[in-house]
Each structure stands twice: as structure tokens, then as C-alpha cells.
Structure 1
Amino acid sequence: MKLVLPSALPPDLARVIVLDTDVTFASDIAELWALFAHFSDKQAIGLVENQSDWYLGNLWRNHRPWPALGRGFNTGVILLQLDRLRQAGWEQMWKLTATRELLTLSATSLADQDIFNAVIKAHPWLVQPLPCIWNVQLSDHTLAERCYSEASDLKVIHWNSPKKLRVKNKHVESFRNLYLTFLEYDGNLLRRELFGCPCPPPPGAEQPVLLSATTPQLQQALAQLEEQDTCFEFQQQRLTVHRVHITFLPHKPPPTQPHDVTLVAQLSMERLQMLEALCRHWPGPMSLALYLTDAEAQQFLRFVETSAVLSARQDVAYHVVYREGSLYPINQLRNVALAQALTPYVFLSDIDFLPAHSLYDYLRASIEQLELGGRRKAALVVPAFETLHYRFRFPSSKAELLTLLDAGSLYTFRYHEWPQGHAPTDYARWREAQAPYRVQWAADYEPYVVVPHDCPRYDPRFVGFGWNKVAHIIELDAQEYELLVLPEAFTIHLPHAPSLDITRFRSNPTYRDCLRALKDEFHQDLSRHYGAAALKYLTALQQPRGPA
């Protein structure tokens, strides 16, 4: 590809820098670009001398390298004067050289580098030798070390040795540290601490007013927080504007259908293994927000590429929200995924639930039969269950689920820990139900629901664990959404290790106190917005409660 760049690139492009993917810059690339000014009128290729003995020959018996000028040149970093190469007839020049050499050499050993060197051997006026610090090639040879005196002098490190970090080089620790820095690179560092770029709100996500402010206003709001406040990290997290990469991977939305449903969920790296099973259970469109570091985003990319299940799905939209802060911004993530759903309805789920195999088709049929839309606002409740078994035979029907429930292989979700979270679903009635039935809101109710896409967004003040879904259901009820339980729908929670936030909630009284403060603040806002109609929520909050 390097050989055909003069003809492949636009004819009005005069200069390019060509880099191998295994180079690391330890300097500003503008300094490299400035070296074009040192070219003579005829020179068209800038290269660093090869720092191994390859082109000198005799490395082993019958070693026959391609012809080169002296030690030859390494093509990991190249400055190309495209206009001059075109004028010199570059395409004909390299093809004739390669054809001539291949009469006696059966193949190239170092690909384009061999042909570049053979052309330069025949036309030495083409090359402008570059300072060796612009392509320090890792090897056990001392030539690379003689190129510079201190590691701080380095401009570009070329990891071209098969041994990589295991080479015998006096500065290998510096190389290793630089490599690890880039391996764990953090875009937040580049965004703020170094360059101070402005921070717009995440696309499509509703955020508190402060989050749409410019960077100085946001920094002022953060500066006003008291670091000694026991709830400082909660306040800091809710003000944090995250970098968001919408549609991180190629996405082909399905054709528009009047009753279509998108599954909406969020996850972090430790739940990534649940994606394949979810894709097998839900054949419809999905919008997923992933909370990742920059390095984890690259791991996620490789995970999808190597998964036959995930790589085959073009109707799953992945949106990366880059990690920042100590608490999981769960409702901000949900809002990002919800805003990017493209269907009229959304199934608001969690990544650790597997829906019934038939649920996608059943939901679309139910929406049509119930004639939702228009003035009728309804939230369709999907009853939630859980299993404690990692190896579990998923039920194919409601009848099979009830059998597992009676046998103790399944439970209603969080029955042992937090029954009030799903008790209003009325599982006893659901067992016998043949048609959708309406249930009333009750304190701490947090079912999984199907709602129109324009439903209220989640309250982003709730971060970490606790009350994030409860607040959303209250908002739906306050806006007079009917709660209709579907008689044939179900979703099942799979067991997994507890998250860091739930562990902190259970073990840290201060964490729970901060959550209670957020609840109080939320109810005050409800009262201001809905007036007397919000009194029932405040009354419910003041009643004796359980652990969450």
C-alpha cells in the first residue's frame, strides 16, 4: 500500500507522513512535519537509516537481502513528497525495479521496505535521511542506543522487534512505561487537564441545567461543592459531563414499524459476557449504553469482532459513555440509550435479565391489541423472576416457568431481599391471568416496563445503587401512565457477582444516608412540579421502610 500512495491519494495532495501501526510518538508530530523543509529540490522520500544489520547481509548462511544503500532504510516512518514522486514517474520506477530484482530474488522478505531500498539504491538522490530519533527501532543491536543519549531525546519508538519489550536495551524500562501509558490512555486527561476543551452535554440525554453550561460554569459549580461533605462524590458525579460516543459500532436500524420495540439497557465491562445470551433471546433492535474506559472500549471492540453472535447483529446500537468518577451513573447511561432508540416503543430492561424468547413478538402484538398510542398512556409491566443457578434451563413458556417456580428453581425477583420492589405486580393474579390487568402504584415499586419512546427520562441525580428505577416509575405514575401487567410476558434475572456500588450500599451507612438525601430532594422537586398530586409519594416515603 505504501508503494501506491502517490497514485492512490488525491492528485492535489502534495505531502504525507506514512506510519506503521507499531510506532509510538513521544513528541509533537508537527516537529516531524517540519523536516520537509530540509528536503532538496529533488528529494522526495524521508527515511531513517535501518538500525539492524539486515541489509549488510551474511546474518546466516544463504542470507540474501535485497539491494540497499549502506545499511538501508526503515519504512516504519516515511515522509513522502507525493508531487515530486509523481513527476519522477514513481509508479513505473518501483515496478521496473521490483520486476528486475525478482528475476534473481524469489520474493521480498520485508515487503515494501525491500522495494523502497532497491529503488533508493538505484536512485539515491530520491532520499532525505532523517535523524535517527524519529524512528528508534527496538532491537538487541547497539546502533539504536547510539542514536540518542537519553530516553528523553526520543521522538518515535518503533516496536518492530519480534521480542518487543524483551529486547536488551538500556532504556527498555522507559519504553515499557511509555507503552503502558498509551495502553491505559485516558481521553479525559486530553479533554480537560491538558487542553481544557469545552464539555457539551451528552447527545440526546436530558441533564440538569448545570450540565449544559460551558466549562467555566461547570468548573465553578464543581468548585462550590464542599469536599468535606460526606455526600461529595454523589454531588460531584451528578455534575460530571461524560464523553459519549454515540453508535460506537456500525448500526443499521430496522425499517420503521408502528408497534416496534427497542430493548434499552446499560452495562459496564464486568457484564459484557451477558451480551451474547441477550442477543439470542431478543431478536429485535437494542440500544445499549456501555460505561467504559478508553482501553476497555478497545477491548469491547475486539470482543464484538470475535463473537459470531454479536458481529452478526447490525440492529444493536452500542453507545460508549467514557468512565469518569467513582460512582456508576446508571440513570445517565439509561438516558443515553433511551434517547438513541429509534422505535415508537421501548422495553426498559437491565443487562442481567434474559427476556422470554417470544417476548419481542408478544410485546408488538400486545401494543397493537391494546391500541396504545394517542391519548392513552400506558406502561406495560413485564413480570420479573430470578434464578440462583448459574446453569439453568430457560423456560420456553409461561406454563414451564410456573413449573420451575413451584419447584423452587425460580423465584419472583428479589423476593428474599426486597419484595416490595415487585409485589404490586401481583404474581398470584398473574399465574391465572388470561388478559392484561391494571395494577396500582405502591411505594418502592420498580417493575420493568414497555413504554412509548417519548416517556419521561430517568432522573440523573441517582447514581450508584438505589432508587434509580423507583424514581422513574413514580414519574410515570405522576404523569398518569396506566400500569398494565401482561399475562404471558416474563423476564428472568441471572446470578452474578454483586457490583461495587451495591456492596458499598450494604456496608456503608454514609452511602445510605446520601441516598436518603437524594430521595428527599427528589420528592421536593415532585411537589414543586405536580403540587398536591405528589402528596401521596411523600406520604409513602415517610412510612416505615425496608433496606433500600
Structure 2
Amino acid sequence: MPHFRPRPGGVIFHDVAALTDKLFPVVEAMQKHFSTGSGTYYSDSIFFLSVAMHQIMPKEILQIIQLDLDLKYKTNIRELFQEFDNFLPGAVIGIAKEMLPNPTTRVGGPPLNGLPGFNSGVMLLSLEAMRQATLHTACWSPPTCSNWPASTTSTGHLGDQDFFTMISMEHPELFHVLSCTWNRQLCTWWRDHGYSDVFEAYFHCEGHVKIYHGNCNTPIPDA
């Protein structure tokens, strides 16, 4: 099967197995630091697709929006593309904050003073900027990856979103932070499993919701 197959209307279908084979040598150095081991959910290279998208997509593709499947759109997706216009110089990725609790340190703590990390269910990737940004490339090079265990207190296990969270600690300028209304996460499991005292600090989201994210298999409201 070819890497992609054109379809009427400009849609391209990619062969996941072929993409994964192409991704592995690019993301191998970081993968062991951001998954919990072989055979686990986030251990496959495909969960690092966003990190290397600029390398494996055709050069004529300048911007991509990467989306999870468990989403419901309440507005035209073209409005999300307009967020690219709000990127500051140096920004390469648009992504919203994580809305699930992990209050172990300031990293993982709730807004406003904490750093809750990112959720990769909705991402804007400026492939052109990623190809040109030497800082972005350096952040995930093998030498940098090999130094992470010494410079951080723990490794991640959620694929690309843990990677982006780690990078943002030192280089927040690489990221355009999307409003929670573009990735309104609905999972409430943690509220009933030990985090009820801090849950609302993460879960609160003001504004008209544009995209619902039914993470943790949470039902998405019809309204």
C-alpha cells in the first residue's frame, strides 16, 4: 500500500503502518522517556506523530490541525485555522492546557500559578515554522533527549503531550496556548478518585465551547 492515496475533494488517506515505520527513527531517542514501556497505550511511535509531522509531510503543506477522534465540533473548523494568525514570532504549535489534576509540584499544578501541562487532543502545527525553527529541532534532538532524566524529576507516559509540557518549561515561546473552549475536556473520573478538593481548579472553563473533547470515554452533551 502506498504512503498516501488521493481521493476526490483533496482528501489524502495515510497508511498508519507506513507512517509509524517512517516515524520511529525520528522519535526513537525521545520515545523511551515519554511512554511507560513496550506494549502500553502510548508506546507506539504514532503517538509522537505531531513532533515529526514537519519532516514526513510534503513540503508544500505549511499548516496542519491534528485532532483526536473523540471530539464534537460546535463551530466551523475554519475558525480554528484562524488561530494560526495569532501565533507570536517563534511559536510553532498551538495547544490547550490540560484540564485533569496532577498537583505534585508546580509542574502539574493548577492555573494560574501552576503549570498543568498540555492536552494534545487539539493541536495546530505550523509545519513551515517547525522546519525553520532551529530551537524546536534542538529540543528533541538525541543529545537533548539523553539529558532529560538528569534535568527532570520524572519521565512522562502520555506521548507527545508530556514531551511538549517538558519543553514548555524552558521554552514557552514555542507554544501558542489555545483557549480551553477549543479543547473543552470533559473527563471527571479524577474528581471521584482522590482529587475532589482541587478538581475544579483544573476543570473550570469560561466561554462559549467550540470543541468538546470526550476524553476518558466521557459522553459529549448534545447542546
Q: TM class by shorter-chain length?
A: 0.5 to 0.7
Q: Separation in 1 of the partners of 2:154 and 2:91?
A: 30
Secondary structure of the structure 2 residue equivalent to 1:125: helix
Partner residue of 2:200 out of 131, 142, 150: 142
- The equivalent residue for 2:122 is 77
Q: Give the 5 Å matches for 1:252-401.
A: none
Q: Structure 1 residues 48 and 98 mapped into 2: Cα distance closer, same or farther (>3 Å)?
A: same
Q: Deviations over 1:449-503 (max 9, x none)?
A: xxxxxxxxxxxxxxxxxxxxxxxxxxxxxxxxxxxxxxxxxxxxxxxxxxxxxxx
- The equivalent residue for 2:39 is none
Q: Separation in 1 of the partners of 2:144 and 2:116?
A: 19
- The equivalent residue for 2:138 is 92
Contact in 2 for aligned 1:20/1:77 (Cα 8 Å): yes
TM-superposed deviation, 1:146:
3.0
Q: Give the aligned residue type for 1:72.
A: G
5+ unaligned residues in a row in structure 2: which ranges?
1-48, 109-113, 189-198
TM-superposed deviation, 1:102:
3.7
TM-superposed deviation, 1:176:
3.6
Q: Separation in 1 of the partners of 2:149 and 2:69?
A: 28
- The equivalent residue for 2:214 is 159
Q: Superposition RMSD on alpha carbons, in Å?
A: 2.5
Q: Separation in 1 of the partners of 2:100 and 2:145?
A: 23
Secondary structure of the structure 2 residue equivalent to 1:21: coil
- The equivalent residue for 1:10 is 58
Q: Deviations over 1:418-446 (max 9, x none)?
A: xxxxxxxxxxxxxxxxxxxxxxxxxxxxx
TM-superposed deviation, 1:145:
5.5
Secondary structure of the structure 2 residue equivalent to 1:75: strand
Q: Give the aligned residue type for 2:128.
A: D
Q: Separation in 2 of the partners of 1:34 and 1:82?
A: 15
Q: Separation in 1 of the partners of 2:203 and 2:153?
A: 32
5+ unaligned residues in a row in structure 1: which ranges?
59-63, 166-174, 179-548
Q: Give the aligned residue type for 1:74.
A: N
Contact in 1 for aligned 2:90/2:133 (Cα 8 Å): no
Q: Separation in 1 of the partners of 2:213 and 2:181?
A: 10
Q: Deviations over 1:352-401 (max 9, x none)?
A: xxxxxxxxxxxxxxxxxxxxxxxxxxxxxxxxxxxxxxxxxxxxxxxxxx
- The equivalent residue for 1:374 is none
TM-superposed deviation, 1:99:
2.9
Which structure has the higher relative contact order (CA within 8 Å, separation 6+)? 2
Q: Give the 5 Å matches for 1:156-195.
A: 156-161=211-216, 164-165=218-219, 175-177=220-222
Secondary structure of the structure 1 residue equivalent to 2:96: strand
Q: Separation in 2 of the partners of 1:143 and 1:23?
A: 23
Q: Separation in 1 of the partners of 2:170 and 2:87?
A: 19
The reply on whether 1:132 has 2:180 as its aligned counterpart is yes
The reply on whether 1:43 has 2:91 as its aligned counterpart is yes
- The equivalent residue for 2:167 is 119
Contact in 2 for aligned 1:4/1:91 (Cα 8 Å): no
Q: Give the aligned residue type for 1:148.
A: E
TM-score by length of 2: 0.61
State the 4+ residue runs in structure 1 displaced beyond 6 angstroms: none
TM-superposed deviation, 1:131:
1.3
